[in-house]
Structures are given as structure tokens and as C-alpha cells.
Structure 1
């Protein structure tokens, strides 16, 4: 790489760091060592020094600087380099959004497997898992293997889940106006820790947004306008063969026609940012359902799983969702 290119990259990292909001210390978990940061951002030690000087938070563990993975994702996403791991991952994530919308409306089956880990387990106890709930949107859940007995440490949930898509655009002018106002407010999508997303007022005060935070705020505005609405969590399917586990949420609202609609506000935002030919998909996100999302019984700010062992450490939920052809 010529010297001039290195210099340009160093200045650009300054600009990127200034343009995003780093995770506040109260929600930050600095688990990625400096070597992993360089790999994620496709950068060198000098670039990390530049980012640290520009305010990138870190902790020193055993003499090595460690960073929050959300901060690293956001730096990569907004770097404009096209080769960072976050950019490549999200480009692959949304490559479907520029294709024919009809592909998202037919029934589709998924091999759904979730591993639950209570990492600081207090002993044998029952599990509670917010299971897939595709039935209420015309899908099905079959061949269920659930953690029905009390156990210690780990548990699994397995099922075959069928999703489908239906065009049900918002008919209420009030709901459409509130949705449009949110999209035009200028919030910047960022990767945010799930616990911080539940504090949706803080997220939006920082000028940021995320799927859970956006859904919680939009549901609140829908209810204030007199509509029955709730933010609900779920899973986004078929991402890197099940290898990318992203928290997902949307708003479920009863429209003027009495039909339960889904407003997937964050996916509409991301699609608009990442690709220029996703208008049809963005429209689909504003009221309709599509077959790449599995809804669950969990509310927008709730955990997917709990273990009644007394541990104060949240259960780690790892989903592996693969398309059945």
C-alpha cells in the first residue's frame, strides 16, 4: 500500500470515530483484543492508535487492550472502506433485499436450533424459553424438542418452523405518518448491546437507533395515538448459513382494518442505507410480513430465555437457523 493511501486511511478513521456514538461505559463489555480489532477493521496498529486517540474506549487486560465488539462493528460499518468484516457481513445480510419481493412471500421452512447456556449456573432448575410463534402470522411450528425438564448449565430447543409472507401495507394515515416521521428523523442505525437497547430513550438521545430501541419507541408512539401496539422480538433467518446471530425486533400493531400488521422499522432503515435498489423491500417492511423473520413470544425488551437457578448472569442464547429446501 503506498504511503499516501495509509495517510488517507488514518485521517478517515478520525472522521469515522467522530461520526459514531461509542457504547457508554455502563453498557460496554470490552471482550475483543487488539488483534481481533485489527482483523475486524482490516487495519494496522497505527490505525488502532488513531482510533484510541479519537476516543475509542478500551480496557487493558493482561497487558492487552480490549474493545467492545459493538464499537468495532459500528466503526467498520461507517468506515466506507468496503472490506471490513462488518461491511462484508451486512452486505451479504441484505443482498436478498434487492431481489424480487415475491421470493419473500411464499412459505419457507427452517431447521431451528437454539442452545441455552447459563454460564454461571446455580444448579438444577427449570428453563423458560420464548419459543417461535409463527402460527399467528400463518406459519407453523412442528417437531418440537423443548427443555421440559429441569437441568443444570445448558439446554436446547429444536423445531421445524415454517414462515410465510403476506402483503398487508398500513392503511391508517396516522400510522403511516408516525412511521414516516421516525424514518425522517435522522437517527443513525448502530449495533447496540441488548441491555442498552431496552433503554430506548438513551439510545435515541444519542441520535442513534437499533431494532429493539426503534421498535420500543415506535410502539409507544402508536399506543399514544390510540392503537394497540407492542414491540416483539424474533429471529432474522438465513444469515450467513445461521452463523450471524443478530437480535431482532419489530412492532406489531392492530391497524384500522382490524388486521395485525408488522412494522420492521430497523430493516427498512438498514436496507435504505446499504443498497440503492431496495425500495420494494422497504415498503414490505412497513406493515407486511415476510418469510425471513421468525416471530417469538418475547416482548421487545424481554430476554429470550431464563434459568430459574438464581444466577444473576443472563442466559446466553445462540440460535442456528438454516433453510430447509
Structure 2
């Protein structure tokens, strides 16, 4: 199992999960953890308890091929929609959008800022917005967000060539800390990829080919009962027809890994929009929000996005 992934380099690693969590995630016992540690799984001993980086644990589970680890089961549940007809992804969908902001080392009252949902340019709407202004410690942003989908495939032969060239490069998707994802050269040197790393690289390739392109962050929602609170990014590029297209490279990669029956969804990721993504105003490697109190620590941003049935 350990030789199937690249572990998070020490400068980006945060070993916060005790061995009990590792055993639960990987559906294994202490002897199995011993084997992984002997094979190179990084860890720290604190008060006699081994602690591990959650990204390493997730990636080990994801590529274990055991069909029973928590990451494998969650992945299959997360992407089961990708093997279905895509029509349901093109209709309007309403979301109860809530984001909790926490300044863990707060220095006092100050304005809050969140890179808000930015759905209007893709046919969506915002309503009942309640945004935080000034405060300390914690805050909440709330809104009712309507998303929609549309088939708008990339028409530029050059954009499609660059996109497929990346998809065919053989990079392995892994869970990677957000600061490390911005260092896409390091990520790719490990033979890995992620949504932010891929989007930053592909946006650069598009610009080098003469196109206006930018990696943008957002939220992927509507799974596991709410939002999967993972950093998500895609590329927004102005196509040959003058329209703004989104290239959701990571979702295309993950869907391809799941099943060959996801071809229709993979094609949707190459230019079209679909209703499970809420784009934001944040650029590809920028934080979702900040607090002006003067703290040097980044704020924690946790999304809770629930589908509202019509």
C-alpha cells in the first residue's frame, strides 16, 4: 500500500491524526500500521502515541485497492452521480449555503471578508444574503444560492489538445495540503496532481497559448449529506467563440478513475458548467477569506452546503 502514493513532504506535513484514527480510516490494526511505518509512512510520536498526516492516510486508503477503507468508500459514494446521465446536472438547483469563519488567534474586533459565491456569470442567483461585517473570533456567511448547468464544450482545438495532453500525462490525483498545491511544480515532480495544482498549471499553459485564462476556486457540493469541505478549483478560459468556459480538470481525472461509464460527465468537465459547483471570487491559490484583526494565522473556513428540495 505504501508504495502506491507519494507522502506529503515534511515542509507541508501536519501530523495531527492519532493511530486510532489511522486504523479506523484504513480498516486495519496496529500490526498493519507497523508495516506501513516500516515502509516509510511518516509519523510523530507524542506521549507514546503515533500521529500521522491526514492527507497521507487518505491517499493510502484511496489507493489501497482493498475496497473497504473509508476513503475508497467515500470516493465511490462521492462520484456515483458521474456514471449517470448528465441531464440532472444541467437543471437549476437551490442550495442553503453557510460558511463558518474562525480566526483561531484573533486579535480583536475587525472586518471579515469572504470570497463570496460568484454564480451570476454562469446563470445562477444569490438571495437572502447575510454577510458578516465586523466582529471577533467567529462569524458566519449565509445565502440561498441557485446554480444551473449548460453544455458549452470547449471548441478551440488548441485548448482541447492542451487539456487532453495533461489528462494523458499519467499524474495520480492525491489529497494535498492547499499551500503545497500552489507549488504545482513540486506536486508534478512527485507524479501527483490535485485540483488547484492542475488548474494553476493548465491556466498557465492556456495563457502561453494566447488565451485569457485564470484558475478559480469554489465549492463542490451536494455529496455526503452536505458539502465535501475540500479545496476545489477549475480553470476559466475565454474560448475561440468568445465565451467563458470552465475546465474542471480534477473532476474529469477522478471520474475517469472511477469507471469508463463516466465519459459523458468527463466531457461535461471540459468547458461546460454543472449545478454541483458553486464558483467563488477567489483565485486558484488564494484563501477563501480573511479577518483584518492583524493575526498572522490564516482563518479557518468551513462550508456547510445543503440541497434544498423544490
Relative to the length of structure 1, the TM-score reads: 0.94
How far did 1:276 drift? 2.7
Q: Partners in 2 of 1:241 and 1:119 — Cα distance?
A: 27
Any idea what SS the aligned residue of 1:158 has?
A: strand
Following superposition, the deviation at residue 243 of structure 1 comes to 5.4
1:244 Cα shift?
Answer: 2.9
1:232 is matched with which residue? 216
Partner of 1:177: 161
1:102 aligned residue: 87
How far apart are the structure 2 equivalents of 1:57 and 1:197? 19
Distance 2:200 2:233 in 1: 9
**1 CA distance for matches of 2:211 and 2:122?**
19
SS at match of 1:277: helix
Aligned length: 309
Aligned to 2:71: 86
Q: Is the 8 A contact 2:102 2:138 kept in 1?
A: yes
Query: Does 265-274 or 116-125 show the bigger shift?
Result: 116-125
Q: Do 2:99 and 2:142's aligned partners in 1 also have CA atoms closer than 8 Å?
A: yes
Alignment of 1:215-254 (within 5 A): 215-242=199-226, 244-254=228-238
For 1:85 and 1:226, how far apart are their aligned partners in 2? Answer: 43
> Which residue among 148, 157, 173 is the counterpart of 2:141?
157
Find out whether 1:206 has 2:190 as its counterpart: yes
Query: Equivalents in 1 of 2:22, 2:90: separation in Å?
Result: 39
Counterpart for residue 118 of structure 2: 133
Residue 33 in 1 paired to residue 18 in 2? Answer: yes
Distance 1:56 1:309 in 2: 38
Offset from partner CA, 1:46-76 (integer Å, 9 cap, x none): 1100000011001112221100000000000
Distance 2:189 2:287 in 1: 24
Give per-residue Cα distances to partners, 1:261-320, cap 9 Å, x unaligned: 000000000000012310000000001000000000000000001111111211111100
Task: State the secondary structure of the residue aligned to 2:200.
Answer: helix
Q: Counterparts of 2:293 and 2:152 in 1: how far apart (Å)?
A: 43
Q: Which residue pairs with 1:266 in the alignment?
A: 250
Q: For structure 1, list consecutive stretches of 5 or more residues without a partner in the other structure.
A: 1-15
Corresponding residue for residue 11 of structure 1:
none
- 1:166 partnered with 2:146: no
Q: State the SS of the aligned residue for 1:60.
A: strand
2:2 to 5, 17, 35: 17
C-alpha distance 166-243 of structure 1, shift in aligned 2 (>3 A): closer
1:197 counterpart (181, 185, 204): 181
